[in-house]
């Protein structure tokens, strides 16, 4: 049945949680704990143990080989044919990571026929980012525990950590998150590639690109260093950017509770994976970009594979759910903006005064009564767009009707401005209602002066 990757939570974590029943079909039994054992990652760095903190296999694959190979490439003449082939192979292996490792296997956002799966597994292996099984499991953990300690490429630990560092340092497997990968184990292509990963890596990353250039136009050296290692290095950093840059720069149109962001630059570098805010909200959508002009070649490729019959069941989230996210996110931003503006003293905090008192005070400063609220317009009389005379005609009076269409139906802006000039509330304050009633009954109540 279901299987899981890596071990489970440490003792202290377990105590805080409710116990796991052993009969659970999806998750493994609780781990047997060795009480005094401290994992290397929990120990301080010393001269004696520092090398144990380093994952040397990864260091060789993502730092030493790339540095050595790129140095060699610089001293290898680059002929046009090899350049074109390197670029083409870069796109092939890169897209096998995004369309294969990521959208197909990690997220099952579509189904792929056997030939396509074999191609994606082979070229994806040539990108030197681990087996599908390892990669997809880690990626699922990343989605499940984004931005937490259990997130393997937790961006909260820094940009460099999420880009590379996470592979360089040895981690405590007990701290890793767990996910269901039964569907991956059920795929023979995944199983075969995982078992024979070293072979796949050597052949697809180095031998194949070298042989194509060597047998094709005799450029064995260029094939190895340019189409092989330099190309691999570029694919590495391009796809690593999804874990670093896409959690660092850009907008958050769908949700801002977690770090993923949408940015066209990241998308350009990562074959369309840069619309990462969308992707974390709607992970099983085969698209990362939803607008036609956004750059998502991985989406276009999957769509093309469907057209030629190699892919099917392309999953999309409902347009409704996507728009709900946008609406809520915009609402959040709008609320933040609104709270920074001055909307006037809240009515319930204003002093309540009598109408007579209002009239008395209006002799000293320019007070206007509108809709039961007293406004001090002293500083506005001179700059009133409707003229000094008109606004002065309302001083010491109930100008509700005058303000609301009796003389001029003031704009929304005028109402906003007015609210910022509030200074008091009139006891009773029902003059408007009286006027409205009189108006309805065609009585000659002279309140509006027009």
Nearest residue to 105 (alpha-carbon basis) of 176, 27, 202, 179: 179
**Rule CB under 8 A: is residue 437 a binding residue for its own copies?**
no
Enumerate residues 149-208 that contact its own copies by CB under 8 A.
180, 182-183
Nearest to ligand HEM of 120, 377 (CB atom) = 377
Nearest to ligand HEM of 272, 283 (CB atom) = 283
**Rule CB under 6 A: is residue 191 a binding residue for ligand HEM?**
no
Cα-based angle 15, 19, 23 (whole degrees, multiple of 5) = 150
Candidates 153, 166, 271, 282: give the one binding its own copies (CB under 8 A): 282
Enumerate residues 245-304 that contact ligand HEM by CB under 6 A.
281, 283
- Partner whose footprint covers residue 327, from its own copies, ligand HEM, none (CB < 5 to 8 Å by kind): its own copies
Nearest residue to 143 (alpha-carbon basis) of 174, 172, 103: 103
Candidates 3, 148, 182, 411: give the one binding ligand HEM (CB under 6 A): 411
Candidates 47, 57, 308, 413: give the one binding its own copies (CB under 8 A): 413
- Partner whose footprint covers residue 403, from its own copies, ligand HEM, none (CB < 5 to 8 Å by kind): ligand HEM
Candidates 53, 81, 144, 171: give the one binding ligand HEM (CB under 6 A): 144
Residue 408 beta carbon to ligand HEM: minimum distance, rounded to whole angstroms:
4
Strand partners, 182: none
Enumerate residues 353-392 that contact its own copies by CB under 8 A.
383, 385-387, 389-390
Residue 252 beta carbon to its own copies: minimum distance, rounded to whole angstroms:
11
**Rule CB under 8 A: is residue 34 a binding residue for its own copies?**
no
**Rule CB under 8 A: is residue 255 a binding residue for its own copies?**
yes
Nearest to ligand HEM of 253, 297 (CB atom) = 253
Enumerate residues 36-95 that contact its own copies by CB under 8 A.
none
CA contacts within 13 A on the Cβ side of 262: 21
Residue 430: phi, psi to the nearest 5? -105, 10
Residue 280 beta carbon to its own copies: minimum distance, rounded to whole angstroms:
7
**Rule CB under 6 A: is residue 242 a binding residue for ligand HEM?**
no
Candidates 125, 126, 283, 424: give the one binding its own copies (CB under 8 A): 283
Nearest to ligand HEM of 219, 262 (CB atom) = 262
Nearest to ligand HEM of 140, 163 (CB atom) = 140
How far CA 158 is from CA of 141, 249, 388, 446, in Å, comes to 18, 13, 60, 71
C-alpha torsion sign, points 88, 232, 210, 136: negative
**Rule CB under 6 A: is residue 389 a binding residue for ligand HEM?**
no
For its own copies, which stretch binds (CB under 8 A), given 32-40, 111-119, 288-296, 338-346?
Answer: 338-346
Nearest to ligand HEM of 139, 174 (CB atom) = 139
**Rule CB under 6 A: is residue 377 a binding residue for ligand HEM?**
yes
Q: Which residues make up the interface to ligand HEM (CB under 6 A)?
A: 140, 143-144, 281, 283, 368, 377, 380, 384-386, 390-391, 393-394, 399, 402-403, 407-408, 410-411, 413-414, 417-418
Q: Which residues make up the interface to its own copies (CB under 8 A)?
A: 2, 17-21, 24-27, 107, 144, 180, 182-183, 254-255, 257, 280-284, 315, 317-318, 320-325, 327-328, 330-331, 334, 337-338, 341-343, 383, 385-387, 389-390, 393, 408, 411-413, 416-417, 420, 439, 444-450
């Amino acid at each position: 049945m279901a299987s899981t990757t890596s071990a489970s939570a440490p003792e202290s974590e377990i105590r805080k949680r409710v116990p796991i029943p052993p009969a659970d079909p999806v998750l493994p039994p609780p781990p047997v704990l060795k009480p005094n054992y401290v994992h290397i990652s929990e120990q301080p760095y010393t001269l004696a143990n520092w090398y144990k903190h380093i994952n040397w296999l990864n260091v060789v694959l993502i730092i030493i080989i790339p540095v050595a190979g790129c140095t060699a490439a610089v001293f290898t003449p680059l002929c046009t044919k090899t350049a074109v082939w390197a670029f083409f192979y870069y796109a092939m292996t890169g897209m096998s990571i995004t369309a294969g490792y990521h959208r197909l296997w990690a997220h099952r956002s579509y189904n792929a026929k056997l030939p396509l799966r074999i191609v994606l597994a082979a070229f994806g292996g040539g990108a030197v980012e681990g087996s599908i099984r390892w990669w997809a499991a880690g990626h699922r953990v990343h989605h499940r525990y984004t931005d937490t300690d259990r997130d393997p490429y937790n961006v909260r630990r820094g940009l460099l950590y999420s880009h590379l560092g996470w592979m360089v340092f040895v981690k405590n497997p007990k701290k890793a998150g767990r996910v269901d990968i039964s569907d991956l184990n059920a795929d023979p292509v995944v199983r075969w590639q995982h078992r024979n990963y070293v072979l796949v890596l050597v052949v697809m990353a180095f031998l194949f690109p070298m042989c194509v250039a060597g047998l094709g136009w005799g450029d064995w050296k260029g094939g190895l260093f340019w189409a092989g290692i330099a190309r691999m290095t570029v694919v590495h950093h391009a796809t690593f950017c999804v874990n670093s840059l896409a959690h660092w720069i850009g907008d958050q149109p769908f949700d801002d509770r977690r770090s993923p962001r949408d940015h066209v630059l990241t998308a350009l570098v990562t074959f369309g994976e840069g619309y990462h805010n969308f992707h974390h909200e709607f992970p099983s959508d085969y698209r990362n970009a939803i607008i036609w002009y956004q750059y998502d070649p991985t989406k276009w490729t999957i769509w093309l594979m469907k057209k030629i019959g190699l892919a099917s069941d392309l999953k999309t989230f409902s347009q409704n759910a996507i728009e709900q996210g946008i609406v809520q996110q915009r609402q959040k931003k709008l609320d933040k903006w609104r709270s920074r503006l001055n909307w006037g003293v809240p009515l319930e905090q204003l002093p309540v005064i009598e109408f007579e008192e209002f009239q008395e005070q209006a002799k000293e400063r320019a007070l206007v009564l509108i809709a039961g609220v007293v406004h001090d317009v002293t500083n506005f009389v001179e700059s009133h767009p409707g003229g000094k005379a008109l606004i002065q005609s309302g001083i010491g009076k109930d100008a509700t009707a005058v303000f609301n269409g009796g003389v001029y139906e003031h704009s929304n802006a005028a109402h906003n401005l007015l609210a910022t000039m509030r200074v008091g509330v009139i006891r009773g304050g029902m003059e408007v209602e009286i006027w409205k009633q009189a108006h309805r009954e065609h009585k000659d109540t002279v309140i509006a002066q027009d």
